[in-house]
Structure formats: C-alpha cells, structure tokens
C-alpha cells in the first residue's frame, strides 16, 4: 500500500484506468480473518476498508491502484492499492457463513446446472429455462435448492404435476445445495482466475458442472 490520506472518504478515490476498463473493474472477494470467503464487495468498499486499516492480509495475485486527490498539507497525491482478495480484521463471520444457505434464484440455479435441462440434457440460454420442482409444490415439495433443477419448458410441461419416476423422466443429476464458496463462484460473472482458484479450494469436492475452466 502506498501513501493515502486516512481521513479521506472512499468516494474521493478515482480509479486511474480508462473508462472502458473501469466498467470492467472486478469485484473484490472479502474474507473473514480466518480466510472464509464472505461476500463480493465493490472496489469503493475495499478502498474504505484499506483507509480504515481493516485489511488484515491479502491472498490475490493482483492489485488495482486507485488515486485520490492531492493532500493540501503535503502535496502528495493519495493512492491505494487494492488486492483482489482481502481478509478483514475483527470479522468473525465463520459461524454465520457455515450456517447460511445461499439464496435461491433462477440465475444461480441455472448456473449450478450449467444451463442444461436436467431431464433432456440439452443446453439452453437463461431465458428459455424454468425452475422445476422435482417433487411438485402441489405434492408437498419445497422451493429449496435440493428440490429444484433447471428444466426446459418442454420437459417442464411434459413432467407436469408428477415426480420424475411417475413421469418416467429420470433426473440427469441430483440437485444439491451449493456451499457458500460455490455460491460466491456462481454469483459473480466477472470472477478473476485467482479468486476462482481461492474459492475452488473450499468447494465441496463434488463434480461442478458450471466450473468448466
Ligand atoms: Zn428438457
């Protein structure tokens, strides 16, 4: 980290790279002090953590440099290097994250299933997929990760209000609840290689259809 003005608010920092690149600025992976991934944060929040001296250690392979204004007293331009993976001091989210079931959204569900219909095996764009309840809601099935799969409209309609066995439509993969690291990997489209490698070390070990790298 270079010199920067400690009292300066994060909003005063400006990224130096060209505008087009700026829109591509990746999200920063925030860890708790023990190295458990917690969430994605925008670079402005990361700058704020650096400015408050809240970054305990870093694990990414890259730094992004952000420049702020000139200090009136010293004439020195403020500047802060942001690592792509930062562990934050005094953060004990470990237990919280272990308990937390990732929110279920279609976008992450379809990514979990690699945009494949879990009945016919064909690949579809997001807007052509549906959320199929393996045990239909009308039969007491729950709207949870472990009871939902991506399905194309045709298969979903054909299956109707039946369980796969009744419809003679076996599932191609058993639906699972992503752990938090897997969920973070699913939920960021601009994930960097070092961030993915870090999260991968905390995947559950089962084959991950969405992870094709
Ligand atoms: Zn299908």
Mean of the pLDDT values across residues 1-20? 40
User: What would the two tokens of residue 95 be?
Assistant: 């237990």
Beta bridge partners of 81: 65
Distance 122 CA to ligand 1 centre (A): 6
Look at residue 213 and tell me whether its pLDDT is greater than 70. Answer: no
User: What would the two tokens of residue 164 be?
Assistant: 């796969």
Q: What is the mean pLDDT of the chain?
A: 84
Name the most confidently modeled range: 4-8, 42-46, 205-209.
Answer: 42-46
Whose tokens are 């020195």? That residue is 76
> 159 with 149: CB under 8 angstroms?
no
Distance 178 CA to ligand 1 centre (A): 22
Cα angle value 40/41/45 (rounded, 5°): 165
What is the pLDDT at residue 17? 44
- Of all residues in the chain, what percent carry a pLDDT higher than 90? 62
Instruction: Choose between 45 and 8: higher pLDDT.
Output: 45
Instruction: Choose between 205 and 19: higher pLDDT.
Output: 205
Distance 127 CA to ligand 1 centre (A): 14
Distance 206 CA to ligand 1 centre (A): 23
Distance 181 CA to ligand 1 centre (A): 28
Look at residue 135 and tell me whether its pLDDT is greater than 80. Answer: yes
Q: Concatenate the DSSP letters of all residues of 106-165 into one string.
A: HHHHHHHTTTB-TTT--B--GGGEEEEESS-GGGT--SSGGGEEEEEHHHHHHHTTS-HH
- Cβ-based neighbour number of residue 205 at 10 Å: 7
Look at residue 8 and tell me whether its pLDDT is greater than 70. Answer: no
Q: Which runs of E-coded beta strand occur in the chain?
A: 14-15, 28-31, 37-41, 55-58, 63-70, 77-83, 85-88, 129-133, 148-152
The rounded distance, in Å, linking the Cα atoms of 30 and 42 is: 10
Distance 116 CA to ligand 1 centre (A): 8
Distance 148 CA to ligand 1 centre (A): 14
Look at residue 19 and tell me whether its pLDDT is greater than 50. Answer: no
Distance 129 CA to ligand 1 centre (A): 9
Distance 119 CA to ligand 1 centre (A): 5
Name which of 130, 91, 76 is nearest 107 in CA terms.
130
Look at residue 15 and tell me whether its pLDDT is greater than 60. Answer: no
Q: What are the pLDDT digits (tens) for 85-106? A: 999 997 665 555 556 789 999 9
User: What would the two tokens of residue 201 be?
Assistant: 């070390």
Distance 9 CA to ligand 1 centre (A): 51
Distance 89 CA to ligand 1 centre (A): 47
Distance 172 CA to ligand 1 centre (A): 11
What is the pLDDT at residue 65? 86
Q: What are the pLDDT digits (tens) for 145-199? A: 999 999 999 999 999 999 999 999 999 999 999 999 999 999 998 899 999 999 9
Look at residue 212 and tell me whether its pLDDT is greater than 90. Answer: no
Distance 130 CA to ligand 1 centre (A): 10
User: What would the two tokens of residue 97 be?
Assistant: 């994250």
Distance 101 CA to ligand 1 centre (A): 27
The rounded distance, in Å, linking the Cα atoms of 154 and 182 is: 29
Q: What are the pLDDT digits (tens) for 169-180? A: 999 999 999 999
Distance 152 CA to ligand 1 centre (A): 4
């Amino acid at each position: 980290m270079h010199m920067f003005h400690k009292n300066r608010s994060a909003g005063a920092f400006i990224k130096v790279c060209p505008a087009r690149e700026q829109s591509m600025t990746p999200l920063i992976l925030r860890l708790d002090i023990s190295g458990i991934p917690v969430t994605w944060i925008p670079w402005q929040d990361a700058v704020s953590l650096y400015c408050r001296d809240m970054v305990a250690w870093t694990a990414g392979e890259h730094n992004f440099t952000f420049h702020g204004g000139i200090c009136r007293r010293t004439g020195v331009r403020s500047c802060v290097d942001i690592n792509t993976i930062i562990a934050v001091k005094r953060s004990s989210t470990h237990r919280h994250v272990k308990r937390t079931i990732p929110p279920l959204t279609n976008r992450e569900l379809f990514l979990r299933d690699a945009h494949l219909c879990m009945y016919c095996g064909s690949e579809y764009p997001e807007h052509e997929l549906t959320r199929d309840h393996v045990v239909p809601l009308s039969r007491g099935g729950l709207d949870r990760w472990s009871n939902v799969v991506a399905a194309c409209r045709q298969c979903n309609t054909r299956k109707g209000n039946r369980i796969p066995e009744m419809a003679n439509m076996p599932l191609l993969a058993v639906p699972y609840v992503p752990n938090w690291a897997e969920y973070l990997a699913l939920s960021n489209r601009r994930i960097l290689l070092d961030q993915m490698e870090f999260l991968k070390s905390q995947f559950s070990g089962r084959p991950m259809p969405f992870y094709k790298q």
